[in-house]
Amino acid sequence: MQLMNSSSRSWGEAWQSFKHPRVISVLFLGFSAGLPILLIFSSLSIWLREAGVERSMVTFFSWAALGYSFKFVWAPLVDRVPLPWLTKSLGRRRAWLLIAQFAVMAALLFMASNDPVYGLTWVAVGAVMLGFSSATQDIVIDAYRIEAAESDLQAMMSSAYIAGYRVGMLVAGAGSLALASWFSGGDETVYNYEAWASVYRCMAAFMLVGVATTLLIPEPENNQSAYANYGTSDYVRFLGLFVVAAGAFVAGFTLTPDTAAQLKAALTGAGVSAHVAGFFSETFRLLFSVALGGGGAWLMISLNVAPRGMVRETYVAPFTDFFQRYGKLAIYILLLVGTYRIADIVMGAVANVFYKDMGYSKEQIAAVTKTFGLLMTIAGGFLGGLLAVRYGVMKILWVGGLLAAVSNLLFSLLAQMTPETWMLAVVIAADNLSAGIASAAFIAFLSSLTNRAFTAMQYAVFSSLMTLVPKLMAGYSGTVVDAVNYPIFFAGSAILGLPVLLLISYLQRLMDDQEEHGVKVASEEAAPD
Instruction: List the one residue out of 402, 270, 293, 305 whose CA is nearest residue 66.
Output: 293
**Residue 445 and residue 5: Cα distance in Å, rounded?**
8
Percent of the chain with pLDDT over 90: 25
The most distant pair of C-alpha atoms in the chain lies apart, rounded to whole Å, by 71
pLDDT confidence tier of residue 518, bands split at 50, 70 and 90? low
Q: 15-29 b/e with 16+ CB inside 10 Å = b?
A: eebeebebbebbbbb
Contact between residue 422 and residue 34 where contact means Cβ atoms under 8 Å apart: no
Check residue 7 and give its pLDDT.
52
The pLDDT assigned to 504 comes to: 92
Residue 527's pLDDT band, with cuts at 50, 70 and 90, is: very low
pLDDT at residue 60 tops 70:
no
Q: Closest Cα partner for 57 from 68, 44, 69?
A: 44
Mean pLDDT, to the nearest integer, of 469-494?
A: 80
For residue 207, the SS3 value is coil
Mean pLDDT of 196-217: 96
Taking the C-alpha atoms of residue 512 and residue 518, their distance in angstroms, rounded to an integer, is 10
Stated pTM of the model: 0.76
Query: Residues 371, 141, 75, CA angle at the centre, nearest 5°?
Result: 125
Nearest to 444 by CA among 68, 159, 119, 62: 159
Query: What is the Cα–Cα distance from 108 to 452, expressed in whole angstroms?
Result: 32
Please check whether residue 107 is in contact with residue 126, taking contact to mean a CB–CB distance below 8 angstroms.
yes
Could you give the angle at which helices 176-183 and 42-50 cross, rounded to 10 degrees?
30
CA angle (242 as vertex; 238, 244 as ends), nearest 5: 110
DSSP state letter for 451: -
For every residue of 382-443, DSSP letters joined together read HHHHHHHHHH-HHHHHHHHHHHHHHHHHHHHHHTTS---HHHHHHHHHHHHHHHHHHHHHHH
From CA 68, how far away is CA 460, in angstroms rounded? 9
The predicted pLDDT at position 18 comes to 64
Give residues with Cβ within 8 angstroms of 388, minimum separation 6. 5, 155, 396, 440, 441, 444
Instruction: Write down how long the chain is.
Output: 529
Q: What is the mean pLDDT of residues 325-352?
A: 86
Q: Which of 150, 11, 139, 200 is nearest to 444 (CA)?
A: 150
Q: Average of pLDDT values for 335-354?
A: 84
